[in-house]
Structures are given as C-alpha cells and as structure tokens.
C-alpha cells in the first residue's frame, strides 16, 4: 500500500478558542494558524471557525508522486470525485457525496519512541523493586498520533466507494449499510464511514502508548470538568482498541485510544460477520445513547439545509 497514514485534519468548530483550550489540555501542543501537534505526527489537527462542527479536510500520507498519479487516474476511470490541485507532492480532491476535501501528499512516515512503561505478567516480569512508571508519573501523557476519524455521510455507499476505489483505502471490517472501517495504513482503521442523515465528524481518535496513558489522561480531563466525559473506559470489539471518549466544546467526540489491531496484509486478516451494534465494545460501560444519536443532530441537519 503506497498510502501509510493520516497526516492531518481540519476541524470546523463554533468557538476556536474554547476548542483549542480543550485540545491543549488533551495533550496536543498549540502552535500558529490553529494547528495542534501530536508527539510523533507533528501538525495533525487544525481548528477553523464554522457555525457547527464540520470535517473540512482530511489529509492522507503517500509514499511518492507515483501514488498521487495513480489516484488521479482513478478519478477518471472510476468516475467519482474531482481534482482541485495536482502537483508533484500534493493531490487535492473533492469527495462527491459530502464535498469533503481530501488532500493526499507525499509525506514521511512517523516513528514513535519506545514506551517507558513496563508490565508484570505471570509469564514474564519486566519490573522489580519499583512501582509502575505510570503511578509515579507527574507529567501529562502526550498522544502519539492522529489514529482515526469516524465520519457520517448521507450517502454512505458513494463515500465508501470514493475512498476505496479512488483513494485506495482498504476495508478491514464492515457492518453493511451502517459503517465500514477503512484503513490507509497498518492500523485496523483510519477512516470509518458511517451512514448518517448529514455529513459530520462523529469522533476523532489519538493513539496513546498504552492503556495506562488512556486511563491517566482520561481521568485527568474528567477531573477538571466532569461534563467532558462521554464513554469509557472500555475496549472495542472491532479493532480491539481501548477507548475513553470525551466531548470537546464544539460537539465532536474525542478519543484516547491504545492497543488497536494492526493488519500486515489484507488477505491475512479474517473479519468477523458482525451483527448490529455488537462491534461497539467487548467490555466496558454500556454505550451511551448520545454516542449513537448525537444530541446536536437536529442542529447539524438544519445547518446543512
């Protein structure tokens, strides 16, 4: 696969200052132009003003210029989408069902440092004579990278076909007609495409080193403001990842996640035939109603009219 990661997203929010303060406390360093940085991925979140929460742009990393040319060729052959810009290192397209800008650029792969955390198990002891590092840590944990986005679209088949047949994403798991988990990297999913009455960002997720950092970070955010809590701690069924969801001021759910499945080759992964909503979690608190039917949906629909 020439594609290898999400590079960045542009998120529209009603109050840029309030959302920026949230994401800074979440662990993303703020810089100029509305940009926020992850520890390993660099500039991965840009905030811009919008009347309601919106996904304005999705960035995808490619290995080289040939990858961009192949995608550009598929726009014509598949007959989906349109090209806004095509240079040697950048290809910008419009997804036809929602108007989402998709920017595919030649980008470096990011690397993450080894986790300082150690774990003791019955089969192997990694730590003697000292407490767990996460217990002793006083500094805030930093998200490593922008891992995935879940995006609602009123024409799920068209959006899915654009990302798979044109951009080149692969489907890892799918609940037909409801949601498809697609990837542009070895991660189980980078862009999940779900059926919805209107286009909107359901949630965005940032990968932590391990579940200790998920819990430590989520608890710190909720201790500061209990109204931020959405759902967690739990473990998803599809993707296997640990999760803790929070609400950012603009309404988008934001996830700390860890230990997500990796897929080395499409033909080696055997997806399950998922039924209904059983894919949502393997264990943890029951799914909140608002996670399935966001409370601002009527507002989002009205704004799109």
Q: Give all domains of the chain, ordered by start, each with its CATH number.
A: 3-109+141-268+277-304 (3.10.180.10)
C-alpha to C-alpha distance for 32 and 75, rounded to whole angstroms: 34
The pLDDT value recorded for residue 270 is 85
The pLDDT value recorded for residue 116 is 83
The pLDDT value recorded for residue 138 is 78
Tokens of 80: 């989906």
Collect all residues with Cβ–Cβ distance below 8 Å to 287 and sequence separation of at least 6.
Answer: 231, 277, 280, 281
The pLDDT value recorded for residue 1 is 65
C-alpha to C-alpha distance for 250 and 136, rounded to whole angstroms: 33
Helices (H), 52-185: 65-74, 133-136, 156-161
Residues of the chain predicted below pLDDT 70: 1
The pLDDT value recorded for residue 99 is 98
Tokens of 132: 């767990």
The pLDDT value recorded for residue 139 is 82
The pLDDT value recorded for residue 200 is 98
Read off the pTM.
Answer: 0.96
């Amino acid at each position: 696969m020439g594609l290898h990661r999400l590079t960045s997203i542009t998120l529209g929010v009603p109050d840029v200052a309030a959302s920026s303060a949230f994401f800074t406390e979440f662990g993303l360093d703020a810089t100029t132009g509305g940009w926020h940085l992850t520890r390993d991925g660099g500039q991965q979140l840009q905030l811009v003003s919008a009347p309601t929460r919106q996904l304005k742009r999705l960035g995808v990393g490619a290995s080289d210029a040939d990858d961009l040319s192949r995608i550009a060729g598929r726009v014509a052959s598949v007959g989906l989408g349109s090209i806004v810009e095509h240079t040697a290192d950048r290809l910008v397209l419009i997804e036809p069902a929602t108007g989402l800008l998709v920017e595919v650029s030649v980008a470096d792969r990011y690397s993450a440092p080894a986790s300082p955390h150690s774990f003791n198990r019955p089969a192997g002891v990694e730590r003697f004579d000292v407490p767990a590092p996460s217990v002793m840590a006083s500094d805030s944990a930093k998200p490593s990278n922008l891992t995935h986005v879940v995006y609602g679209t009123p024409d799920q088949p068209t959006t899915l076909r654009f990302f798979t047949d044109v951009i080149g994403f692969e489907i890892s798991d799918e609940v037909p007609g409801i949601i498809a988990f697609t990837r542009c990297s070895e991660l189980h999913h980078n862009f999940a495409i779900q059926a919805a009455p209107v286009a909107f960002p359901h949630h965005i997720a940032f990968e932590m080193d391990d579940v200790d950092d998920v819990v430590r970070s989520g608890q710190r955010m909720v201790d500061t403001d209990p109204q931020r809590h959405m759902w967690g701690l739990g473990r998803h069924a599809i993707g296997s990842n640990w999760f803790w969801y929070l609400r950012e001021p603009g309404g988008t759910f934001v996830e700390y996640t860890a230990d997500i499945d990796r897929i080395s080759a499409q033909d080696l992964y055997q997806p399950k035939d998922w039924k209904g909503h059983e894919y949502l979690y393997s264990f943890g608190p029951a799914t909140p109603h608002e996670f399935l039917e966001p409370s601002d949906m009527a507002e989002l629909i009205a704004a799109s009219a």
